[in-house]
Amino acid sequence: MKSSKKHPNFLSKLRSISKKKLSGDSVFKIVIMLVACNVFVVLGLMFYEIIQNSLLSIQMYGAEFLLGTKWQPFPPNPNILPSFGALPLILGTLVTSAIALVLGVPVSLGISLALSEFAPKSFNYIISFFVELLATIPSVIYGLWGIFVLIPFLQNNVYPYLQGALGFLPIFQGTIRGPSILTGGIVLAIMIIPTVSAISRDVFAAVPNSQREAIVALGATRWEKARIVMSYGRSGVIGAIMLGLGRAMGETMAITMVIGNSFNLFGSVFEPGSTLASIIANEFTEASSPPVYVSALMEVGLILFALAIVVNALARLIIWRSTRKIKEAGMV
Amino acid sequence: MKRRCVKLNYKIIAYVEAIVLIAVIVGFAVYGLYFTNQPIRLSGAGATFPAPLIQKWSAEFKDMTGAQINYEGIGSGGGVKQFTDKTVDFGASDPPMKDSEFSAAPGTLHIPITIGGVVPIYNIQGTSKGLNFSGQVLADIFSLNITRWNDARLSTLNPDTALPDAEIVVCHRSDSSGTTKVFTSFLSDESAAWNATYGASNVINWPSQTVGGKGNPGVAAAVQQNQNSIGYVELSYALQSDIPYGKVQNAAGKFVEPTLETLASAASAVSLILPPGNASWASEGSYFNLHNVEEPDDAYPITSFSYVLVYQELNVRPGMTLDKAKILTWFLWWAIHDGQHYAPGLSYVPLPQTVVTHNEATLRMISFNGQQVNNWA
């Protein structure tokens, strides 16, 4: 303080003024709170705009929009109303995301367990670096790779054997198509691995060492130790999976390039399909008339929005319930 | 001591930030000044199909005159909208304006600038290019009425080719596309069943089990990766890639291979019945319906123009000046003459002389504040 009095400068003046009236801390607090409140504004405006724009289609089609299976924006006869039914899209989104979770989550958990429990430090560092690198690859690159590398490979070397082994199940029957629901799910699985594994690695790393020491002291094997770590970090892992699911459902570019883009209520995973996001990517750019067409695509966006909210809410619920259980168990 | 160090760091960061901020502001100012000093800038937007050609033209035209012409390939629908809203100096569209669009933008001139064609591509092991298709058979294939390659309707058209007993995989554009519109307009005219079920539009309610690809490359990839498949793409795309493509039967009953010449032949046939440049071109439809003219034997049937749209009286566009109007008219004049030499190199079809002559009359109509702009020709 003394030195600043000796050489008074602008900063120290400002400091002395603001100390009397308004401390820097409180100004900072107000600014930061305003920034945080932007989240509400952005989310609210987005929701309002989407609802506003899809109102026309909601009024015209109602529940038929959710259950219909025909998508014909320009009917051949101008006297017929355009048809918009989003059921195949909803199903496409849910099934591809489910495939992504089934294939992607075990791999991700394996990676994060290896990193936090088994791998030596140096190896750990390299793998983490590459996992994070995977997350930075733009989705259009995944799509291109999917078209030119993955699809020919799967179609020739994997799908025929898969059908041979599991062909008794109806979902693995029918003509094998390269671009298909299954291909879409596989690409999504690869895309969610970095998200899920990076977060669950952090979750596992946060498990207190006392837990590990305790179980090892009881004579546990490494697998048993890993199980304890996983169950301790369960809520965090579920959160990571839900984030991965959110990414899978909203993924647009890559899935559009590999899913086959057929408006199809598929019965087999080898059939082409569409997702909520892919139909918007395909059709929104040139949709100008009729107005209900734009509105219908907006409603597709609204459904996607609603699905994301439901998934998030479910994740919260699961986390909340499992943490409560742990707490209760702790009390007993 | 430690505390001071921390403080100092924040100061340095603050200074660096301030310097970066100032640099960015100065940068923008210089950028703005530099570009406002550029002589003349014009903008256009519309169809993606002619975009490479128009961009080539604008690069050559800039070398020649210094004028900068920016063209954005945003799609025909977007082009018509921006042109109607007068936010661009010229628009471009694959189909001509519909009557409703034309009345919303009075004084629009249609200038055909290049020719496009849609061709069936396929992937059948052991079969090279040149399979014969008729409109009716194409409609049957794409509506899954013909499901196998050895169907009698296909083998009667191709008696010399042994087609496999295999299921046909149908591939189509998944994105909203003028190519789909041209192709399905042709199918609708050729097949009553197609017209009643699917019609002609940018987005079709395709039968399920068909595979959609995004853009010409997406359809080509889907065809190449699925054995025994069929799809449709722009001719220029088919010429530049190695995919086999078929011949299509025209109104004269001949099976015509799509080439730059056969498309030009269709265009010169239709050029005899073109409406005046300032009239509505809606009756031209999405592709040349050559049933009303005597069709040459070598005219490829699924052929269409791509249009530039420009206002007859250029002062309706805000910010238009006489100098800009002159440059715009000069650019279009140059594009339909010397600019056509760049077309074959990019796999576009040069305009036949009859169409160029028709366009010359249209370009002479352009005026600015009532004065004819094009007074050098």
pLDDT, position A327 = 66
pLDDT tens by residue, B50-80: 999 999 999 999 998 888 999 998 888 888 9
What part of A 83-112 touches B (C-beta under 8 Å)? 83
Chain A residue with minimum CA distance to B176: A283
Cα B161 to Cα A62, A87, B138, B151, B154: the distances in Å are 52, 42, 17, 12, 10
Question: What are the pLDDT digits (tens) for A162-175?
Answer: 999 998 888 898 88
Domain range A83-331, CATH class = mainly alpha
The closest alpha carbon to B43, from B107, B87, B109, belongs to: B87
Closest residue on chain B to A274 (Cα): B212
Q: How far is CA A61 from CA A82, A89, A293, A302, B204, in A?
A: 10, 16, 12, 14, 20
A12 near B CB under 8 A: no
Those residues with Cβ within 8 angstroms of residue B157's Cβ, 6 or more apart along the chain or in another chain: B131, B132, B133, B134, B137, B249, B255
* pLDDT tens profile A220-278: 898 899 888 888 888 889 889 988 999 999 999 999 999 999 888 888 999 999 999 99
Smallest Cα distance from B322 to chain A, Å:
33
Shortest Cα distance, chain B CAs vs residue A192, angstroms:
23
Q: Which of A59, A24, A137, A90 is nearest to A274 (CA)?
A: A90
Confidence label for A290 from pLDDT (cuts 50, 70 and 90): confident
Q: Which stretch of DSSP H or E encloses residue A249?
A: helix A234-250
The proportion of chain B whose per-residue pLDDT surpasses 70, expressed as a percent, equals 94
Q: Give the distance from residue B119's alpha carbon to the nearest chain A alpha carbon, in angstroms.
A: 21
Calculate mean pLDDT across residues A126-134: 87
* Cα angle value A151/A154/A156 (rounded, 5°): 105
Question: Is residue A89 pLDDT above 90, yes or no?
Answer: yes
Using the 8-state DSSP alphabet, how is residue B207 labeled? P
Query: What pLDDT shows up at residue B110?
Result: 94
Region A280-306 average pLDDT? 87
- Mean pLDDT throughout B177-190? 91
The pLDDT, as a whole number, for residue B1 is 45
Position A229: which residue type? Answer: V
Instruction: Give me the residue from A71, A266, A272 closest to B205, CB to CB.
Output: A71
Count contacts between A and B (CB, < 8 Å): 105
Render pLDDT for B151-174 as a digit per residue (tens, 0 to 9): 999 999 999 888 999 999 999 999
Distance from CA of A69 to the nearest CA of B (A): 11
CA distance B302 to B84: 28
| Contact status, residue A236 vs residue A199, Cβ threshold 8 Å | yes
Query: What pLDDT is recorded for position B297?
Result: 84
Supply the pLDDT for residue B21. Answer: 87
Would the CB atoms of B176 and A151 count as touching at under 8 Å?
no
Max CA-CA distance within chain A?
Answer: 89
What does pLDDT average to over chain B? 88
Amino acid at A252: T
Which of B225, B227, B228 is the mutation pick for testing A, counting most A CBs within 10 A? B225
pLDDT value at residue B53: 93
pLDDT band (50, 70, 90) for residue A161: very high
Tell me whether residues A179 and B196 touch, CB distance under 8 A.
Answer: no
The predicted pLDDT at position B2 comes to 47
Domain boundaries, chain A: 83-331
Q: Which residues pair with B42 in a beta bridge?
A: B69
Q: Which residues, in sequence order, are CB contacts of B205 under 8 Å at separation 6+?
A: A70, A71, A72, A83, A263, B198
Q: What is the pLDDT of residue B228?
A: 92
pLDDT score at A326: 63
Indicate the residue of A177, A266, A278 with minimum beta-carbon distance to B211: A177
The string of pLDDT tens digits covering residues B271-326 is: 878 888 888 888 888 888 766 666 688 899 999 999 999 999 999 998 888 889 99
Q: Is the CB of residue A147 less than 8 Å away from at least one CB of chain B?
A: yes
Residue A22's contacts (CB-CB under 8 Å, 6 or more residues apart) are none
Give the pLDDT band (50/70/90) at residue A313.
confident
Q: What is the pLDDT of residue A4?
A: 45
Task: Tokens for B270, please give them.
Answer: 């239709």
Does ipTM surpass 0.90 in this model? no
